[in-house]
Structures are given as structure tokens and as C-alpha cells.
Structure 1
Amino acid sequence: MRRLFCAVLLVAAVPAGATGIAVQPYGTTPDGAPVEKVTLTNDRGMTLAYIDYGATIVAAAAADRTGARRNVVLDLPDLAAYQRSTRKWGAIIGRYAGRIGGARYTLDGKTVQLQPNLRGLTIHGGPPGYEQRVWQRRDFADRASIGSVYTLVSPDGDQSFPGKLTLHVTYRLLRASDEFRIEYEAVTDAPTVVNFTNHAYFNLAGAGSHGLATHRFQFDADRYAVTDANRVPTGELASVAGTPLDFRRPASAAARLQAPSALLGDPPGFDHSLVFTKGPGQLARVAVIDDAASGIRMEIATTEPSAQFYTANAFDGKEVGSSGSAYQRYDGFAFETQHLPDSPNQPSFPSTVLRPGEVFRSITSLRFTRP
């Protein structure tokens, strides 16, 4: 049975005009649904912003070495741009983040047929994606934090998955430190599989900066998921030792992208599932990323067992951020904490099964400092 992670969700209804929470209109979807933007500001001056469409993070302003604030989340200029895009910028992904081979899995002796793409597999749950929906939101303020709880009810058969799923996602900005948390809680009324993540892209030199040459990455991950030609896991978890995926000591991803490697492909790019060394369900630091240009450090802690590390290999300059800069290949990175892709078809992987009466809980924390 899947290990269910424990987290305490303590929220209080936010009073009108509460300090640190600003809400403004962000547009209207074609079917008439209003979308708002929430901007949180903590006691230190860090801001975190997100919109109701896709429960999408659109900005996080971290302090650089001079104390000036830089937005480190790659964003788009308006709601229409998010609706046109297929890159899922900063959105919540579900019902199942990552790939499911053959667009099907078997649970309790029953085969569940999902919606295949052109390669015959399902990616990020299939259409309609959670990133394309307007979520319900409740803002809150408590002694230690401010934020919002987003709720999405996914009916039985949604994306062809069984079971009515109720998902709560909390964005929580701590008042006294430059840290925000993403907290997930889900229940179902029928056996199903779940895997959630946030699809934000980062550049610690600032959104709109080009390349990752000034970044150094360190991950507490000693294995990776071996995949087939469609990037679906084979079931083997191999050692990172001696491969470009070994970031157990700080290293430059940009430098490794310049060296020929069958593992990184042609053109080269990181798009791999890394398995953490920490214990199951333990909230622990799993990644440290430093940027020499800005002096910003990002530390990531999670209860999840793995993450997808991606270096924006498919960016092609066709989408432009609010900074006015077109996003090119390698202009950002994603570190999507989650369970492993294709887990429903891989018995040796940590289970992603959720059953009635169980509660799925997960936390990912992102903390910004200046080392």
C-alpha cells in the first residue's frame, strides 16, 4: 500500500484587507469564468504571485546579493498567453504527472484505459489538463504564514481515471523567511492513482535571463529511472555514478550539456526522473541550486520520493515572458517533485494508488537564501 504522507493544514479565513495579501482581476476565460491574481508579500519583502487559472504560480521574487528582489519564475504576460500555451507554466499537474506507458494500467484486476497521445502514451493525465481549469480559491492568514487553498473536484471518469477526486493545493508563504510551500491533500471515492506536481520553470538569475551557465546544481539523488525511446520507465533504477545525472556534488548542468552523451540525447537535454536518497515520506532537503550571477540560492525540500529535472530543452523562442524576453532553449529549469512516471505499471516503484478512506498528503518547500 502506498505510504501516505502526514501534513498539518492550519488555515484561517483571511479578513478583508489583510496585510500581505492583494487580489486583483486577471481576466476572463472564453466561457466567462473570472480569473484573479493573488500577490502575497511577507514581512521580509518576498512576494509570491499566482492565478486561479491552473492554480498557476506566475512570480516569486527572491533577494539577490544586493538585497534587490528578482522574479525567478518564468512567466507569460497575460491570461490569453497562458491559455494558448502547452508548456503548463507554473501550473498544478494531475491527475497523474508524468508518463503512463501504453495509456493504461491495471488496478485490482481491472484495466483502466486512458487517453493516448500520438505516441500511444498518456502524459500529465491527458486532456483536459488541470492547468486548463479555473480552480476555486480561499485565501488565509495565520500567525506564521499567508496564502491560499485551491480546490479542484475531478469527477469519476475525468481524463478517463476512475473515482471522484477532491484535491486541495495550498500555497503558503512564510512570514519570517523567504520560503513558500506547496501542500497537497486529496481523497477519492473509488480506487485510483494520483501523482501531482507543480510545473514551474526557474532561472535564478531572473526570469528572462538567458541560459543556465551561472547555475550550479546539487541533488541528493543516487539513482535515476531508465527509460525507453518514448521516455517511459523500463522499471530499472540505475545508479547516477559516472553519468551526467550525478549531481551529488555541486556541478554545472550547462557544462554537461556541451559534452556528447547518449543519456542526454541529441540535441542534449536533461529530462530525467531522479530518485532521492532520503527515507520514504520524510520531509527533507533534496536539492540546492546556486546562481553566481545573482547570488541567489534555492533549497528544495519535499516528502516526495523523486523529481523530474528538465532544462527547457524544447523552448524555441516562440513564447515571450512579461519581461519582454523570448524564452530560448535552456533558459530555465524545472525540478518537479513527484512520484515516478509509469508507477501504476511498475510494481517495484513507490505506489501511487489512492483508495477510499485514505488521504494523500504531500509537501514541497522552496527556500531562498544568499549563501
Structure 2
Amino acid sequence: MLGKLALSTGALLLATAAHAGQARRADFGAMPDGARVEAITLSNARGFSARILSYGAILQSLMVPDARGRRADVVEGYASLDGYLSRPNYFGSSVGRYANRIGGAHFTLDGRAYTLAKNDGPNSLHGGAAGFDRHLWQVVSLSSGPQASVTLRRTSPDGEEGYPGALSVTATYTLDDKGALSITYRATTDAPTIVNLTGHAYFNLGGEASGRSIMDHRIMIPANAYTPVDATLIPTGEIAPVAGTPFDLRKPTAMGAHIRDGDPQLALARGYDHNWAITRPNADRPTKDQHLMAAIRDPLSGRAMEVWSNQPGLQFYTGNFLDGTIRGKGGKLYRQGDAFCVEPQVFPDTPNKPAFGSARLDPGQTYVHRITYRFSAR
């Protein structure tokens, strides 16, 4: 009896170990000052794996099985650190302090005007010329088990890129045993400031080395409204209904179905590069609750992805400025329309648009943004 019990217990432990996720660290090169960059790989027993870099808290690789079990890397990026240093393009980056654009590279907080770095024409984009994507983060913890995870940390000093307050930030990547990858951003400050963090992965569910466009990917965004933009891609302040426009993606729609229809908004951005109002600003929904932001499916590979978050807006971008001059990990040149981004966040230019709500963070508060990418294949 004891022998059988011991055998059963051993079998259970082996089964548990076989399904446990793994977190492993390796070297990924050196910064110009000699500081080492780490690559942390999270994996599970179902064939999923994610590689995260300590530089930029970047999602460098994400291996996902298709309907036949064939694995492919579904995020664009570089095979070595050199590419991220020389032509970053925000591939897989954690962007901040303020993701997306702030019009005129300025805002006012408590009656004081702040001037930011201009790195997108007259505007500030993704935190400025040296945002969070251009810094080395510290790996503070790794965990293997049912959920494999890594937590990275950095402190943005008071005045960095023009933002007030010292901001302490962590990014935790978690891969579960079902193939869902989550990112949780947390931030605290020692003075009133603004914050808006998100992940900036470029996805192609057919595989980044497939050479295929994402124009036949089908996307659904459950939003009744979006925020139109001006000629510099700053929201005008209007929250406009999507009904009767190419921005009505409430039913699954091919990403390329309307891009060449001649819509003035699509012409300004060379495609989709807009924010959808998933929930209205200052809605009653608690910020701890995640809600569905988008569902995407590649009909050829069968891979599908849902994006969940606790933020009100979703920036959907169709790789409009990829120009065929960047060679990716798999040796393919990345062309216009070869990838899409789905970035949950506070609405763009919220600090200058009171109707959009607030991006304010005060001492004693904790900013928390949870993103989950749920994958399936059929």
C-alpha cells in the first residue's frame, strides 16, 4: 500500500513538473558603457515561450503554436542587441512615461507648465527621445512553476524627459500554463505627475518571418467610438461614433478591408493609427477589472489572440511606417502592413484634453496597468 502511495505521489510530482513553467536567464550582449543586458525566457509545456530583455523591458520573442502545433515567433524585432540600440522602432518595448502622443510636447499640472522632448514633429511620442524603451531595467525576480514570470524595475528621475517627480516602475511578465502572456505595470511617484505605460509589441500571427502581410488578419474591437486626429496625429478632442465609418470594427473585419478607401482619417495616418474608446473616461468600471479590448485571428495559420486590459483606450496601428529597410530576426524585411500593434492605454493627449479623463498620479497612489494576451488556434 505504501509502495503504491509512493508511486502515485511520485507520478503526481512528475506530472506537475512536466506542466510547470520555466524561467531562465541568459546574456544578450552589452550596452555601450559595458553594462550587460539579460534575456529571460519564460516557457510552458504547451510549446509557448516568451523572451524578455532587460533593455527596454522588451518582448523580444513570443513563440506560439498554430492549429497544427507548429511554433512560430509572432512578434517582430531583432536577433541581437545592436538592432534595438541603432533602430529601435519601439519593437516590443515597454513605453513611458506617457505612451502615445502629447500634443505640442507640453502639459500643465497644478498650474505649472511642463515642456517635454519633441521627438514626433511638434509632439512628444512614447515618453520622448529617451523614453523607457531606451533604458536598462533591473531584473529583480524570476519564478518558475504553474506560472513562469519575471519582474523588472527602473526609476525614472525627477525631470527625465521633462516629466515631474521621481517615478518608480516595475514590469512583470507572466506566462501561464494555457498560453496567456500577461504584463503588469506598476508605478509610484514622489510628486504629482502623469503616467501612461503600455507594451508596444508588433504582432504578425502568421509569424514574423512568414513574409506575409497582416492585411488579411481579422480584427474585432468592441468600441462604439474612437478619437479622430489632426494632421500631426493628435486627437482633436472629439469622441466620435464609429458607425458608418472604417473605424467600425465591432464585427470581425479584415485589417486591410478599408485602408485604401480614401477615408481622410486613414489618409492622415497612412492606415490605422488611432485610439478606440473601449470605455468612456471616468467610467464607473473599477480600474482593477480587465475587459476585452480586441480579438484578432489569422485565417491561414489559425492563430487567434484576445487582448484584455483595465485601461479605457486601445491604440490600433497597422505598421504604416515600416518601409522595408529593417531586417528582422528571421531574415525578412519588414514592410508597410507587415505587423500590427494593439496598445491598451489612457487616451492620447489626455493631459491636454480634460474631457478624456485623467492620467494623473499622486504620491501615495499606485498606478496599475494589467494587459493579457490570450492565444488559441483552430
Q: So what's the TM-score if we normalise by structure 2?
A: 0.90
Change over 3 Å in CA distance of 1:20–1:142 after alignment to 2 = closer
Give the Cα–Cα distance (whole angstroms) in 2 for the partners of residues 230 and 213 of structure 1: 24
Could you say which residue in structure 2 is the equivalent of 1:350?
357
Deviation at 1:39, TM superposition (A): 1.0
2:229–2:265 CA contact under 8 A, matched in 1: no
CA 1:331/1:237 → structure 2, altered by over 3 Å: closer, same or farther?
same
Q: 1:29 to 1:143 in 2, by over 3 A?
A: closer
In the other structure, the counterpart of 1:34 is 36
CA distance in structure 1 between the aligned counterparts of 2:269 and 2:185, rounded to whole angstroms: 35
Q: Give deviations 1:59-80, integer Å, cap 9, x for gaps.
A: 1111101011111111212100
Query: Counterpart of 1:182 in structure 2: which amino acid?
Result: I
User: Partner residue of 1:198?
Assistant: 199
CA gap of 1:59–1:86, structure 2 versus 1, over 3 A, is closer
Q: Aligned ranges for residues 124-143 of structure 1 at < 5 Å?
A: 124-141=126-143, 143=145
Match of 1:163, as an amino acid?
A: G
Q: In the aligned structure 1, how far is the partner of 2:352 from the partner of 2:131?
A: 21
Contact conserved, 1:75 with 1:322, CA < 8 A, in 2? yes
In the TM superposition, residue 198 of structure 1 has moved relative to its aligned partner by: 0.9
CA drift at 1:142: 5.8
Stretches of structure 2 lacking an aligned partner (at least 5 in a row): 1-19
Q: Highest CA radius of gyration, 1 or 2?
A: 2
Q: Which residue of 2 aligns with 1:288?
A: 295
Q: Secondary structure at the match of 1:83?
A: helix
Report deviation, 1:259: 2.2
What residue identity is the alignment partner of 1:249? K
Matches within 5 A, 1:156-305: 156-174=158-176, 176-209=177-210, 210-265=212-267, 268-277=270-279, 279=285, 281=287, 282-305=289-312
Contact 2:63/2:72, CA 8 A, preserved across alignment: yes
How far does the alpha carbon of each residue in 1:89-117 deviate from its partner, in whole angstroms, 9 at most, with x for none? 00110111111112111111111121224
Q: Which amino acid aligns with 1:346?
A: K
1: distance between equivalents of 2:217 and 2:290?
Answer: 25
2:191 is aligned with what amino acid?
A
CA distance in structure 2 between the partners assigned to 1:50 and 1:311 by the alignment: 23
| Larger helix percent | 2
**1:328-350 deviation digits (Å, cap 9, x = unpaired):** 00000000111111100111112
Equivalent-residue separation in structure 1 for 2:23 and 2:120 (angstroms): 43
- 2-structure distance, mates of 1:66, 1:21: 26
Paired residue secondary structure (2:122): coil
2:337 paired with 1:321: no
Q: Which moved more, 1:272-281 or 1:300-309?
A: 272-281
Once the 2 structures are TM-superposed, how far is the Cα of residue 284 of structure 1 from its aligned partner? 1.4
Instruction: Give, in whole Å, the separation in 2 of the partners of 1:48 and 1:39.
Output: 6
Residue 197 of structure 1 aligns with an amino acid whose one-letter code is T
Of 206-215 and 312-321, deviating more is: 206-215
Following superposition, the deviation at residue 85 of structure 1 comes to: 1.0
CA contact (8 A) 1:208 1:327 kept: no
Compute the displacement of 1:128 (Å).
1.4
In the alignment, what sits opposite 1:72? 74
Shifted more, 281-290 versus 152-161: the winner is 281-290
**SS in structure 1 opposite 2:256?**
helix
Greater RCO between the two (CA within 8 Å, min separation 6)? 1
Alpha-carbon offset, residue 258 of structure 1: 3.1
For the 8 Å contact 1:208–1:331, the answer to whether it is kept is no
Q: Could you say what secondary structure the match of 1:102 adopts? A: helix
Amino acid of the structure 1 residue aligned with 2:168: T
Distance 1:86 1:136 in 2: 19
CA distance in 1, matches of 2:82, 2:123: 28
Distance 1:119 1:326 in 2: 26
Deviation at 1:32, TM superposition (A): 0.7
Q: Does the 8 A contact of 1:171 with 1:181 survive in 2?
A: yes
Listed as ranges, the matches of 1:93-112 within 5 Å are 93-112=95-114
Gaps in structure 1 of 5+ consecutive residues = 1-17
| Structure 1 residues 19 and 225: alpha-carbon distance in aligned structure 2, compared to 1, 3 A threshold | closer
Aligned residues: 353
Q: For residues 121 and 167 of structure 1, what CA distance do their matches in structure 2 show?
A: 24
Pick from 123, 136, 152: which aligns with 1:150?
Answer: 152
Kindly indicate whether the alpha-carbon contact (under 8 Å) linking 2:138 and 2:152 is maintained by their aligned counterparts in 1: yes
1:91 equivalenced with 2:93 (yes/no) = yes
